[in-house]
Amino acid sequence: MLYFISLILLGLIFLLRKLFSNYYFTPTGFLAITWITFIFLKFLVASDYYFSLHAVVLFVIFIFSFFIGELFMFLYLSKERNSIILQFIDKVNLEADLEIFKQKKVIRTFNLILIVLGSLSFLGSLLYLQYFVRYFGSVSNVLTAGWALRGALEEINIPLIIRAILLLGYSSIILILVHFILYNKFRWFFLLPFISMLIMGITQAGRAGFMMILFQIFIMSFWRQIFKNVTSETGKLSFVKGPEYKMIKSSFRLVLFVAIIFVGGDMLRSQDFSFNSEIIEQGLTSFKAYLFGGIAAFCTYLNEYRFQDLGWGRFSFSSLYELLGIHKNTLGIYVNYLRISSVDPNEDTNIFTAFRQFMDDFGIVGTVLLMMILGALSNVFFRKAVKGDIASIAFMIVLYTFIFHTPLLSITAHTSVLISAILPYVLIKMIKIKY
């Protein structure tokens, strides 16, 4: 019954997004459908995982707050239709932008930026790998270290300059996706940041980073279709021919690839590549806990909640706080693992949805205000992105990646993600201003 109520409430929020857009997957629509999908699938495959009324109420309040923020911004900009503010915020000259990005010198500049960022990212990953090779003795020892790699992360001191270079990786990938939207062409240097992320993933025995990249490619296809429709002046399309339907169809491939990466990551950590049923089952169980454990652990967290001093960003922006020397970051944000299953006491996790990070930093009221601000900000960029503004599309790819991860954690904990929301946008704007 609780699952049904939560799905109905989130479904109503999804329908309310029609107040300000014809698109199904507005930021509010995408946030609502993401949570609907996670909760529905949790009911199907992880019904033994905790799910409480207290948690549902907070989920709905926070998601509704995001909707309110987006609605308020829409109403404000609609009211100020002839104001200078609206002209500055909402102005998109698609025809002029297309002429700029068709210029050969602009294409060369864009390619040069991608080569420089990709090369730096690749170089940074090799230097990063070198420190692990020194620690373990050889590359082969690194590849066979398994779980020991996670422990080494706490002991190996990576110089600040290398960490700074690695922060450019996701920005490089976002710009590559934008380049592909604009020109629909593959270039050899596109591979550099992807190889860099692969090296990082193997070195850290991690998988979340590469799964995030897969999702960014997935969401890029959605914005690519919107950009294609806008530039070809196709007009309003039916749902079956629209970008949302194509995105839903491709989501099945996404789940398959993510599951393969997750199971492969488990094999890398355990160093067991036997592909027997036990190993695959273990990997799929870990995959289930990763997808739905955050929601269940949030329920456990609420049951055990005790008021503590607010972190004021320490949890939501943990990597940035460490980089600035404000607070030492812990691997995985939270070190305490909480039980997630009512059946198996051994199933636990240390991810608690994005909302625990926000609540630990800003409290419940602060989280409501934060979600309203994010909703308002999302509407500003969304209304420009659907008109073909390429810089706004770059920002929306990052924003939708953040939204998709909210049932798991807040990816704002990674400084490289924060930079990827800003740097590509700024670089694209600078190209437009210069040419």
Alpha helical stretches, state H, 310-414: 318-323, 353-385, 390-405
| CA 64 distance to own-chain centroid | 20
**Span 343-391, pLDDT tens digits:** 888 888 888 899 999 999 999 999 999 999 999 999 999 989 998 899 9
pLDDT at 89 over 80: no
Percent of the chain with pLDDT over 70: 86
Condensed to tens digits (0 to 9), the pLDDT of residues 310-356 reads 878 888 888 888 777 776 766 667 778 888 888 888 888 888 899 99
Residue type, 400: Y
Highest mean pLDDT among 190-199, 278-287, 324-333: 190-199
- DSSP state at residue 348: E
Residue ranges of domains in the chain: 2-85+232-434, 110-206
Would you say residue 266 has pLDDT above 80? no
* pLDDT for 164 beyond 70: yes
pLDDT top residue among 21 and 177: 177
pLDDT bucket at 156, cuts 50 / 70 / 90: confident
Q: State yes or no: pLDDT of 237 exceeds 60.
A: no
Q: Of 344, 81, 363, 385, which Cα lies nearest the Cα of 227?
A: 385
- Alpha-carbon span 249 to 243, nearest angstrom: 10
Sign of the C-alpha dihedral computed for residues 127, 128, 134 and 138 taken in this order: negative
Confidence of residue 275 (pLDDT cuts 50, 70, 90): low
Task: Quote the CA–CA distance of 105 and 333 in Å, as a whole number.
Answer: 44
